[in-house]
A and B are shown apart, each in its own frame.
Chain A
């Protein structure tokens, strides 16, 4: 059974750096095709994808936030860490991590979706 859980501060001040940890079980982030992504949702608003790291350490970032985001993995600890610099009140949101996987052949890839999500962690940015 795959589970993921987000952890980190609930309150950060403007201009601070946010560090969130996703601790997972039930899969290995060294397995081909596996990824862990971060998604956020401001109160009452839509989902926004932030970043994703793949089993081979390939990383993808939201272009609009790329300069502020860093995603890393620690396979031995079964953790993925997201850092976001220069936090602002508009970054107040629930932050989720999710398991994803895809299968690629020599010519194409097939994406199986973000099939398991953590419960989310709420982060408020305020002085």
Chain B
């Protein structure tokens, strides 16, 4: 069973800075089934990235995803005030067939 680990747990940055979030899988996962979500307090999650690197509809290009195998990264090139939130990675594995979310990385204002 695949376990996702996200680091750091909390990232304290200032607006305008670059954020690099890591998602590591306990075994190799298909990039086709790796997604990233953003969640703000009191709101439902929002899809940012699918297929490890494709931006979802309406997502600004300051958000980018990369990686393969067991290591994936979400990068926010320049933090805007609205980007301070919790970010989750998600993967789908076939053995057993299930979706898994990581524990999340909180990006807060320094």
Q: Write out the residue numbers on chain A whose beta carbons fall within 8 Å of the beta carbon of B92.
A: 111
What CA separation (Å) do A17 and B48 show in the bound complex? 34
One of B1, B57, B98, B102 near A115 (C-beta < 8 A):
B57
Q: Write out the residue numbers on chain B whose beta carbons fall within 8 Å of the beta carbon of A63.
A: 1, 96, 98
Q: How far is the CB of B42 from chain A (nearest CB, A)?
A: 9
Scan residues 58-110 of chain A and give those whose CB is less than 8 A from a CB of chain B.
60-63, 96, 108-110
Known: A109-B32, A111-B92. A47 touches B50 (CB 8 A): no
Q: How far is the CB of B67 from chain A (nearest CB, A)?
A: 15
Known: A63-B98, A110-B32, A112-B50. A96 touches B57 (CB 8 A): no
Q: Is the CB of A46 within 8 A of B45?
A: no
Q: Is the CB of B102 within 8 A of A46?
A: yes
What CA separation (Å) do A113 and B52 show in the bound complex? 10
What CA separation (Å) do A51 and B33 show in the bound complex? 16
Tier of interface size on chain B: 20 to 34
Q: Is the CB of B35 within 8 A of A113?
A: yes
What CA separation (Å) do A96 and B90 show in the bound complex? 15
Tell me whether A11 is interfacial, beta carbon within 8 Å. no
What CA separation (Å) do A108 and B45 show in the bound complex? 27
Known: A108-B32, A110-B32, A113-B35. A49 touches B44 (CB 8 A): no
Q: Write out the residue numbers on chain A whose beta carbons fall within 8 Å of the beta carbon of B90.
A: 47, 49, 113-114
A52 to chain B: closest residue by CB: B99
Tell me whether A118 is interfacial, beta carbon within 8 Å. yes
What CA separation (Å) do A96 and B104 show in the bound complex? 17
What CA separation (Å) do A14 and B43 show in the bound complex? 27
Q: How far is the CB of B95 from chain A (nearest CB, A)?
A: 11
Q: Write out the residue numbers on chain A whose beta carbons fall within 8 Å of the beta carbon of B32.
A: 108-111
Q: Is the CB of A114 within 8 A of B101?
A: no
A interface residues (Cβ-Cβ under 8 A, vs B):
37, 39, 46-49, 52, 60-63, 96, 108-120
B interface residues (Cβ-Cβ under 8 A, vs A):
1, 32-33, 35, 37, 39, 44-47, 49-51, 56-57, 88, 90, 92, 96-104
Which 5 residue pairs are nearest across A and B when measured between Cβ atoms? A113-B50, A117-B44, A49-B99, A113-B35, A47-B101
